[in-house]
Amino acid sequence: MSHSTTALEPRTINTPDLQLRPLTEADEPAVAEALLDAGILRWAAGRSVTEAATGDRARIWLAPRLSCWDSGAAVFAIAGPGHGTLLGSLGIREVNRLPDQAVVTYWVTPAARGRGLAARALDTAARWAFTPVADGGLGLHRITLDHAVRNVGSCRVATRAGFLLEGTMRDFYVDTDGIRHDSHLHARLASDGPAA
């Protein structure tokens, strides 16, 4: 799932209002419930998951993400402050496939939505990824994300977390029904400074 050959050290990042931590096998029930959500399946689960039987989806989703740090991808569970219950997931992938760059993806469980959690998690993850390697970060300069134009909530998340809209990629995303969607490309640079 990553093009980087450099293993990453698994991280837990705590802020006053959320925690980003590595996924564990104990997250499987919460992932299974999340993967019942049509929005997560349509926009964020990936074809290997959506094409599998419902009962197999959590295991198929989770397995590569448990070992992803070894192959240079940082996929976190998003949890509440100081406790580990999974409320969502955020992945920084393709780390250094292009030098100093990566791609980020995210989802939040239906029960945890409506509180700006994804934008706060995204800002937290970006600030860590921009931190120099010597100081425990990934030393990245540019992080991109894409979302189907019609996924307006994801556009708000990106903008709120300081990922500026750079353009529209025509027919970029193929959803679970095989329908092609135009997608927005957003990016945040280390030199952009803090999100508003």
Ligand X SMILES: CC(C)(COP(=O)(O)OP(=O)(O)OC[C@H]1O[C@@H](n2cnc3c(N)ncnc32)[C@H](O)[C@@H]1OP(=O)(O)O)[C@@H](O)C(=O)NCCC(=O)NCCS
Among 23, 30, 35, 40, binds ligand X (CB under 6 A): 40
Among 113, 175, 185, 189, binds ligand X (CB under 6 A): 113
Judged by CB under 6 A, how many residues of this single chain contact ligand X? 22
Interface with ligand X, residue 107, by CB under 6 A: yes
Give the C-alpha distances (Å, rounded to integers) separating 133 from 90, 136, 137: 20, 5, 5
Q: Read off the tokens for 58.
A: 């959590």
Interface with ligand X, residue 50, by CB under 6 A: no
Give the C-alpha distances (Å, rounded to integers) separating 7 from 43, 51, 95, 131, 143: 27, 29, 10, 17, 19
- Give Cβ neighbours of residue 98 (< 8 Å, ≥ 6 apart): none
Work out whether strand 86-93 and strand 74-79 pair parallel, antiparallel, or are unpaired: antiparallel
Q: Which is nearer to ligand X, 11 or 160 (CB)?
A: 160
Work out whether strand 142-148 and strand 101-108 pair parallel, antiparallel, or are unpaired: parallel
Interface with ligand X, residue 86, by CB under 6 A: no
Which residue is nearest to ligand X, using beta carbons?
153
* Segment 114 to 133, residues that bind ligand X, using CB under 6 A: 114-119
Among 19, 151, 187, 188, binds ligand X (CB under 6 A): 151
Q: Which residues bind ligand X (CB under 6 A)?
A: 39-40, 43-44, 106-108, 113-119, 147, 151-154, 156-157, 160
